[in-house]
Amino acid sequence: MRSRYWNDDAEDAEGVACTAADLSFALAGRVIPFDYALALSLAATRLLPWLASVRAAGLRLALGAESANGWQRDDSDGALIYLPQRARLVLRLPLERIDDGRALAGSTLWIADCPLRIGSPTVVALSPTETLYARHVIDETRDENLFLDRVAQAMHALGSARPKLMCGRSRQIGTPGGALTTRSVMVASLAPRESLAVMANGIGTGRLLGCGLFVPYKRPASNARGAED
């Protein structure tokens, strides 16, 4: 659905050095609960307690396509996600905390009753791309237009004067205080400095629940939703 934030004006800008990177860990495990975000966050911060004090730190699982060839993950209560071989745990960290994050390697995170063994990490630089995607951005408004207004304000604060935005599917993340409503967000036509700023800083809160974390958007030719993880 197009919005008033989806304009066709492009902007050119010089690229700048990025202040963050992804630490991508290999995983060994069979399944995890569908609503895994809180359990994963708690397990990781028990081992890396400093994570909670690093404002821009983020944590997510890269699980690949959510749907393909008509199949879609079961999101009913008690549903499980069967982990693909290429699944990764990704920490997004300021460059000065990358070495600290390596301490997660070799540990086992218990996500409910499901063990998730953490392998060796690879440092992945954040490369600017003109289109970014976040699977979860927390939506406290429950109104699509108000939500886009808030995302646009956050983009402005990061130096993007005229963000080209589109929001998508609404989801929920379970927490002790009740379910958090999130929406997916695509932002396009970004200049390099804007793209790096959005990836390094994120949008909104809940970064350790996988919220507000943007990645380059790659749309498979055969499936418009294949970029979601």
Predicted confidence at residue 78, as pLDDT, reads 64
Predicted confidence at residue 75, as pLDDT, reads 52
Q: Where are the beta strands (DSSP E) in 44-106?
A: 58-62, 67-68, 71-72, 80-82, 88-94
Render pLDDT for 55-101 as a digit per residue (tens, 0 to 9). 889 999 998 765 433 334 445 556 899 999 899 999 999 999 999 99
Predicted confidence at residue 71, as pLDDT, reads 36
Predicted confidence at residue 64, as pLDDT, reads 73
Predicted confidence at residue 229, as pLDDT, reads 56
Around 150, how many Cα atoms within 13 Å sit in the side-chain half-sphere?
A: 18
Listed residue (139, 172, 162, 126) closest to 24, CA to CA: 126
Rounded Cα distance, 101 and 153, in Å:
31
Listed residue (204, 130, 151, 137) closest to 5, CA to CA: 151
Instruction: Name the stretches of the chain with pLDDT < 50.
Output: 1-2, 6-15, 67-74, 221-228
- What domains are there in the chain, each with its CATH number? 20-125 (3.30.70.1890), 132-216 (no CATH)
Number of C-beta neighbours around residue 222 at 10 A: 8
